[in-house]
Amino acid sequence: MTAASAPAARLRGPFVLASSSPRRRDLLAQIGLVPDVIAPSGIDETPRPRELPAALARRLARAKAEAVAAAHPGALVLAADSVVAAGRRVLPKAETEAEARACLALLSGRRHRVHAGICAVAPDGRRAERLVTTVVAFRRLSEAEIAGYLATGEWHGKAGGYAIQGRAALFVRFLAGSYSAVVGLPLAETAALLAGLGYPVPWVATNGC
């Protein structure tokens, strides 16, 4: 986590979420936070050559936050990115059934990691960021189960080709870390990060208040 060492003043001004993800909006609402503005960054999310999954999640969260902060001066901007990794391999946000099928076949019967990068930029330019890694293990999936899941359409646009908050919950035999991070946003870490910058979060002590 990086931030200026000086105590943070209680933040005023709009709260901007640099994401169009309805899952992230719902997760924030779950802890009593409602963004004033939804502003997707539109940045290129293509991994760099030989870029490791955790580094990719960090870089994209930071790039999204900084891009949106530049367009919304005086606001507190929160950005996040989730990367599903099988070893050193970054799995795509599945756009076709073939992509989703390949992801599920790869994840079947093995553990994988979900790296969630979060970054916030305060109105005065201070930045704070975290990386949260969760280990998820799928049981072995049959061809019929994969085909049945593909028919739901839940996989579309999801990193790794699945949505843990949906029917893919049936595939998970083990999880170590943050469930909400796998859904889209690690709530405990996000709340602490925002409070550390001085933003009022229900039930969380705010730095400088």
Q: Which of 26, 36, 44, 81 is catalytic?
A: 81
Query: Is 36 a known active-site residue?
Result: no
At 145 the pLDDT is: 98
Specify the length of the chain in residues. Answer: 209
What confidence tens digit (pLDDT) does each residue in 93-118 have?
999 999 999 999 999 999 999 999 99
Helix (H, G, I), strand (E, B) or coil at 36: coil
What confidence tens digit (pLDDT) does each residue in 173-208 have?
999 999 999 999 999 999 999 999 999 988 876 664
Of the candidates 70, 86, 68, 87, the residue with the CA atom closest to the CA atom of residue 78: 68
At 204 the pLDDT is: 78
Q: Is the pLDDT of residue 164 over 50?
A: yes
Does residue 172 contact residue 136 with C-beta atoms inside 8 Å? Answer: yes
Task: Tell me, yes or no, if the pTM score tops 0.85.
Answer: yes
At 11 the pLDDT is: 59
Q: Is the pLDDT of residue 10 over 80?
A: no
CATH 3.90.950.10 fits domain 15-196: yes
The dihedrals phi and psi of 127, each to the nearest 5 degrees, come to: -125, 140
